[in-house]
Amino acid sequence: MALKTASEYLESLRRMKLNLFLLGEKVEDWVEHPIIRPSINSVAMTYKLAQKPETRELAITGSTLIKEPINRFNSLFQSAAELVLKVKLQREMGRRTGACFQRCVGMDAINAVFSVTFEMDRKHQTDYHQRFQDWLKYVQQNDLMVQGAMTDVKGDRGLSPSEQKDPDLFVHIVDRSNQGIVIRGAKASQTGAANSHEILVMPTLRLSEKEKEFALCCATPTDARGIHLVYGRQPNDTRKLEKADLDLGNLGFGGQETLTIFDNVFIPWERVFMDGETDFSSPLVERFASYHRQSYGGCKSGIGDVLIGAAASMADYNGVAKASHIRDKLAEMVHLVETIYSCGLACSYEGEKTAAGNFQCNILLANVCKLNVTRLPYELCRLAEDIAGGLLVTMPSEKDLRNPEVGRLVEKYLRGKAEVSTEARMRMLSLIHSMTMGTTAPSYRTESMHGAGSPQAQKIMIERLANLDARKKLARKIAGIDQREDVLE
């Protein structure tokens, strides 16, 4: 069974035994929990698109490992064209959910680990690549959701992993046996962890030779013994516990982040893909980060499309759609979204084949893409909030609208254009609120800043790959400092 339906995905989650905590309590029926379920729905959409005729080309591709059609989120990129299709799929997913759909991290981790394990084996005579392929076959055959786990909690950022007072602040190996290894530590801000079947653990930064215990890559079932998931708070998250869907904005979909704790978790050797090879920690981090920064060109443009639609709708509802300054702001929003998308496409089209055979997006352009994403969604949110108006943050609740005494007055005084219902206007305001600062977690604004690395991480990579010497040479030739190029030669 290489392709699950959305309902089969939900049933597969119900069979798991997670150790999941939310708001100080252990959650048993987490699939139906009102705070968690919207994020599950977002993941389920990745399974639904694989079943729909009009989206199958985007959502499905062939596997070189199991010779069957598979979900693109579990695929190895076989060409630059497939990198492009990845971005197009992510934009479509963003448009359909208006939220984080959580499978991108696993897809990007799969491709990074695939190429790095091949090169590790070639240098160190290990067998990681075959182990990884065997695990990936299992993932593809069962259409599992993989959560990529890179971001350690880090403790004192001024100290390296080996210098921390508590070594558990970076995930590391604490024991080895003939059967496997035992790991301990925690990963923060883990996208979709409670909705995943498997966790693919990776190092979080460049490591020195003395930090072999931290140079770790492995896979584990999400419900393995010793894994504790603590669900992250979201702005206004307890609104989902109320019977007032208008106040949620995006009722059906959402994102999810957890603190994922590994408390002496056993990993069998066949699921270990790096064990002490510190010289490959940096390439793995850089390749994964570049794939994930490419991803933001797709998902953040798709979510931006929804935000543009909401802002344009509010302009209609408020009766100002024809005002020149409103049209100018909407045009600017489109420009910003298409700029994000263009960057995602550019680093895809410029992708190159790795030694392992899969394709890596252009690392410089992927970092340019993500650096734009740390800025442009902030302006998109500002413009949407500007067009929406101050009622965005002062609007009464749905309970007030439904109240038998005051509801008719809320209905009367919060109406915009006469032909648009007050409820429709309030729902659209609530959607903008949820996307920019509220319940559609993580919010479009903040997640664009910190997801896939904060701006300084991209600037470091851009500076490293800028090749300023080559650019200086171009300038010297044109200026006549070096010998000019003869057009007749």
| Cα–Cα distance for residue pair 452/260, rounded to 1 Å | 17
Residue 439, pLDDT score: 60
Q: Specify the CATH architecture of the domain 7-53+102-279.
A: Beta Barrel (2.40)
Model pTM score: 0.96
> Running DSSP on this structure, what letter comes out for residue 453?
S
> Active-site residue among 9, 100, 217, 258?
100
**Is 191 among the catalytic positions?**
yes
pLDDT, tens digit only, all 489 positions of the chain: 689 999 999 999 999 999 999 999 999 999 999 999 999 999 999 999 999 999 999 999 999 999 999 999 999 999 999 999 999 999 999 999 999 999 999 999 999 999 999 999 999 999 999 999 999 999 999 999 999 999 999 999 999 999 999 999 999 999 999 999 999 999 999 999 999 999 999 999 999 999 999 999 999 999 999 999 999 998 888 999 998 899 999 989 999 999 999 999 999 999 999 999 999 999 999 999 999 999 999 999 999 999 999 999 999 999 999 999 999 999 999 999 999 999 999 999 999 999 999 999 999 999 999 999 999 999 999 999 999 999 999 999 999 999 999 999 999 999 999 999 999 999 999 999 999 987 665 578 878 888 888 899 999 999 999 999 999 999 999 999 999 999 898
Instruction: Give the three-state DSSP class for 439.
Output: coil
**Is 104 among the catalytic positions?**
yes
> Among candidates 42, 195, 52, 69, which has minimal Cα distance to 140?
69
Q: Is the CB of residue 299 less than 8 Å from the CB of residue 93?
A: yes
- ∠ CA 473-475-479, nearest 5°, is 120
> Active-site residue among 46, 82, 104, 343?
104
> Active-site residue among 47, 291, 296, 317?
296
> Active-site residue among 82, 198, 211, 257?
257
> Active-site residue among 299, 347, 361, 369?
299
| Cα–Cα distance for residue pair 114/63, rounded to 1 Å | 14
| Cα–Cα distance for residue pair 53/11, rounded to 1 Å | 23
Q: Return the domain boundaries, the chain.
A: 7-53+102-279, 283-469
Tokens 């971001």 locate to 151
Residue 235, pLDDT score: 84
CB atoms within 10 A of CB 63: 19
Residue 244, pLDDT score: 85
> Active-site residue among 33, 197, 292, 433?
292
> Active-site residue among 46, 61, 97, 191?
191
Peptide bond into 442 cis (omega under 30): yes
For residue 340, give both structure tokens: 């994000």
CA atoms within 13 A on the CB side of 84: 9
**Is 447 among the catalytic positions?**
yes
**Strand 227-231 with 25-26, pairing:** unpaired
| Cα–Cα distance for residue pair 48/318, rounded to 1 Å | 35
| Cα–Cα distance for residue pair 376/282, rounded to 1 Å | 28
Look up the CATH number of domain 283-469: 1.20.140.10
**Is 296 among the catalytic positions?**
yes
